[in-house]
Amino acid sequence: MLNCHYCQSEASTYVRYAKMHLCKEHFISFIDKKIESTLKRYNMIRKNSRILIAISGGKDSAVMLSSLSKIELNLLPVYLDLGIENYSIEARRICERLVSMLGMKLIIISLKDLIGMELSELAKRAHRPYCSVCGTVKRYLLNVVALYAEVEKIAMGHHLDDLITLIFKSLLTQRLEDIAKLGPKTESMEGLIGRIRPLYEIAESENSLYAEYSNLPYLNFKCPYAHRGDLEIMIKDFINRLEENFPGIKISIARYMAKNVDKFKSEMKWMNCKSCGLPSSSECCSFCRIIKRATGESGSIVKEKIKEKIIDVLS
């Protein structure tokens, strides 16, 4: 085995696109530096900003939190417990372990505490697929937590491979407008906090190594409702083979897309949801529609409950 590029220790891995053999310690610092320069390259945050970190119990958000904890930032880790069978119970335990390992405080928002039911019942009552309700609920709850916690941005753990896969998928399924959502960040507007993707240039395999070398706790099974379509599996396989033959191509596609995602934006007409008052593309936002259908109540009740919780946790 060869020596590390930076020290005399035995190298544990080879980073092909950087042409460097690295020991565990230097691999971790290589990724930390890469994440920090991603924040700068895409102008994601200002120094000392308060950032909401959405953690799920999975390795990607664990890597993001662990790496960002080494930078001078005010981080607010948040776990959304949607009550998905054992998956949510385990994920919650892991998030608690991770956050206490990093010496932080975790905010847990439980769907059952907010509306008296878990995701599966909510989806059944709203007559909508689990994953689509899950996506809407997560986006809405994170935004409301971020608004009341007065954070500058919400950081999501999406990595390079996921983003490139979705870009290719948008091309193949001729849904070019989806590309607009796949850049490194979105800006904030009144009532809607912008998102950042600090792992925009970090590959899935790099996340796995980082989590292993740093001994981070993470869930090694997926949500029982999650399912990846055949097309996505094939694209992922294809881009990984491309990377093997052309090291660095994934990052170069990501950088090119970062400069061009805005070209795929369609003019969105924003209005305020008549039920909760937050920005929406229709008269009533999709979260409020789901809540109304499933519980008969207004989404604004959920908003108020989160507000109380955040004031309580942060005071």
Residue with tokens 């740093």: 214
**Identity of the residue, 133 or 254, whose beta carbon is nearer to ligand FES in the bound complex:** 133
Q: Is 275 among the residues that bind Zn ion (CB under 5 A)?
A: yes
Q: Select the binding partner of residue 276 from ligand FES, Zn ion, none (C-beta < 5 to 8 A, by kind).
A: Zn ion
**Identity of the residue, 38 or 88, whose beta carbon is nearer to ligand FES in the bound complex:** 88
Binds ligand FES (CB under 6 A): choice among 171, 189, 226, 233: 226
Binds Zn ion (CB under 5 A): choice among 299, 306, 309, 310: 299
Q: How far is the CB of 121 from Zn ion (least distance, A)?
A: 20
Q: How far is the CB of 26 from Zn ion (least distance, A)?
A: 4
Q: Select the binding partner of residue 271 from Zn ion, ligand FES, none (C-beta < 5 to 8 A, by kind).
A: none
From residue 55 to residue 84, the character string flagging contacts with ligand FES as x (rule: CB under 6 A) and all else as - is -----------------------------x
Q: Is 134 among the residues that bind ligand FES (CB under 6 A)?
A: yes
Q: How far is the CB of 216 from Zn ion (least distance, A)?
A: 20
Interface with ligand FES by CB under 6 A: which range of 24-32, 64-72, 129-137, 278-286? Answer: 129-137
